[in-house]
Structure 1
Amino acid sequence: MRRLKKIQSEADKVFDNVVNGYFQKSGTVEFGYADASILGLLENLINHTKTLIVLIEKKHYDSLDIILRTVFENYVYLRYILETNTDLRAKSYVYSCKINEIRLHNSLIEDSLTGNKIRNFLNTPKHKVDNYIFEGMNQDYKNRVLSVYLNEIGMKRVEQKWYNIDGKTRNFKSLCNKLDLSVEYDIIYSILSAETHGKDAMAKFEFKDDHVSLIKNIKSIEFYSSISGLYLMDSIENVYKYYKLTKDLKKFQTLLKINYKYM
């Protein structure tokens, strides 16, 4: 656990190191799709790791599977973007997020029973959806987003997964296989998905005679801290390599070596 907290502490320095060592140093580099995707996914990975640490320290174990599953997803997406064709893959990720926003907007403004139910649930009149929540979400904007996703990025359908640029990576399992993470998917992701989708509900109870007992089915804390630490550590190293921050990378690797000896 101390090791994970140390990695997380070093992860908090990455954004400033990238800004100071890459953007400010060059002076002419613009913050683009790749930067937004890379740093956004890393930030999400860091935040979920922090949540996992807090839950472990407070001995709230029930949601650890869900948190670690999200950590793994962010790690896989970040690794895929950084692997090759970074600009195109990052752009695809960003525009898939935009398309999800468009879908949500369409649901909120829909003149139907479902649309009315959603607006009532959110306590948001229809006119406020465009004026406050989705300012600038007009039809021209939607058409531009869809055009980029289909024509510039090269997707055949709007529903196509953002990482399925080659038309052969149709689901998350295929993506993991492509990144040589099939073992991690089978051992970690598939198991963790059971709780996320509520498939392990009955595994929490023991039925004996006329009695029902609650089973505290807790995996080793070392399992959660080690796995999340490895994903976060690898992501930090990959980000430093992408931005060619050699000094920061060596410093990070040296700190890890020192701390691994005494933890």
Structure 2
Amino acid sequence: MDQIIDNALLKQLDEAIKLYIDDDIQCDESKVAVISLLVSYHSRMNDINFLINNHRLNSANVLMRVAFETYVYLKYIFEKNNRMKNRAKAYYFHDFQKFSYYLQHLDQTSITTTDELITDLNKSKNKKVLGPHKNVNNYFNDMRAKFRKCFVIKDQKLDFQLLKDSDKFKKCKIDSWKWYNDDGKTLDFLHLATRLNLIDEYAALYAPTSDDIHSDGLQHQLQFSRNQITVQESFDPLTLVFFRGSILELIQTLGKYIHSSQNRRKVTQRLQKARTIYLARHSLHLLKKNH
């Protein structure tokens, strides 16, 4: 079907990801980050197919936006070999920023207060709550330090003050530093897409779906008849061309980062199969178009 991302292509990517996971290199934070993004990207594309097949086109559009975001993150991480580990680790460690944001705004809710939650977390005997950290302040000191080490640039916004055990939680500027901002200029996702020369793809896959996410365009999708109101959902099948091409690109990239020569050969075979599938689809599309 022209309306979905080829399952045969997705299978080749899935096999390439498994070969990358099973590679003989030691698994550290950077590899965990890459694997999580790869698995997420593959899963998103499968979900897009499911939604299209079930005529949930607005939802498919929204998921394409999420999938594109994941692809951009992968492209950024893989862009430069000498920065790959630091970039992947920055993604891995940036989760502390979400916790910081939550604590910053907790007092504005009726759930509990920031101080009460931190006290409960510090007193918890469940080792899964804070992992190896003895308290919340120790967690932030550790995570901020690890996140900071991922960046070679100097910027005051990356500086932070270590918290003592008795200190109240305090937000630092590093808590708002984008994990992909390794040049001090990549301030948001649009800047990142522009930096990676993906502005056209951003305009096609990311920006237009804002209405679907916020339901701002719903009034334009309503169709009225005398006794019925229906929602007319649609999407452009040409947007799927990007995802098909990205599969080839990712398989090729994974081959460069696999150390086992045997696994590398297998990835090359997967890439050749994927190219054959892609070219056959492209040729069939041109044939249908000409007829």
In the superposition, the TM-score normalised over structure 1's length comes to 0.80
Query: Is residue 2:16 matched to residue 1:14?
Result: yes
Cα distance in 2 for residues equivalent to 1:62 and 1:128: 43
Unpaired stretches in structure 1, ≥5 consecutive residues = 24-28, 120-125
1:18-46 superposed Cα distances (whole Å, 9 cap, x missing partner) = 244x31xxxxx321222112111000001
Of structures 1 and 2, the larger Rg is shown by 2
> Which amino acid is 2:71 matched to?
Y
Question: Among 206, 225, 233, which residue is 1:217 paired with?
Answer: 233
Cα distance in 2 for residues equivalent to 1:38 and 1:127: 30
Query: Is residue 2:258 matched to residue 1:260?
Result: no
CA shift at 1:61, angstroms?
Answer: 2.1
Alignment of 1:160-239 (within 5 A): 160-206=177-223, 213-220=229-236, 222-239=237-254
4+ residue runs over 4 A deviation: 126-133, 210-213
* Cα RMSD (Å): 3.2
Cα distance in 2 for residues equivalent to 1:197 and 1:235: 31
Change (3 A) 1:152 1:50: closer
SS class of match (2:202) = helix
> Which amino acid is 1:258 matched to?
T
CA shift at 1:131, angstroms?
Answer: 4.7
C-alpha contact 1:82 1:242 (8 A) present in aligned 2: no
Unpaired stretches in structure 2, ≥5 consecutive residues = 115-119, 158-172, 282-291
SS class of match (1:186) = helix
SS class of match (2:204) = helix
Quote the residue 1:86 is aligned against.
84
Change (3 A) 1:140 1:8: same
SS class of match (1:167) = coil
C-alpha contact 1:72 1:231 (8 A) present in aligned 2: no
Cα distance in 1 for residues equivalent to 2:42 and 2:49: 11
CA shift at 1:14, angstroms?
Answer: 2.5
C-alpha contact 1:37 1:94 (8 A) present in aligned 2: yes
Aligned length: 247
Change (3 A) 1:128 1:214: farther
Quote the residue 1:249 is aligned against.
267
Alignment of 1:100-115 (within 5 A): 100-104=98-102, 106=103, 112=107, 114=109
SS class of match (1:214) = strand
Cα distance in 1 for residues equivalent to 2:221 and 2:123: 42
Change (3 A) 1:74 1:198: same
Change (3 A) 1:250 1:151: closer
C-alpha contact 1:241 1:249 (8 A) present in aligned 2: no
C-alpha contact 2:77 2:84 (8 A) present in aligned 1: yes
CA shift at 1:93, angstroms?
Answer: 1.0
Aligned residues: percent identity?
Answer: 20
C-alpha contact 1:44 1:74 (8 A) present in aligned 2: yes
Quote the residue 2:57 is aligned against.
61
Quote the residue 1:98 is aligned against.
96
Change (3 A) 1:36 1:3: same
> Which amino acid is 2:50 matched to?
V
C-alpha contact 1:45 1:74 (8 A) present in aligned 2: yes
Change (3 A) 1:102 1:31: farther
State which drifts further: 138-147 or 248-257: 248-257
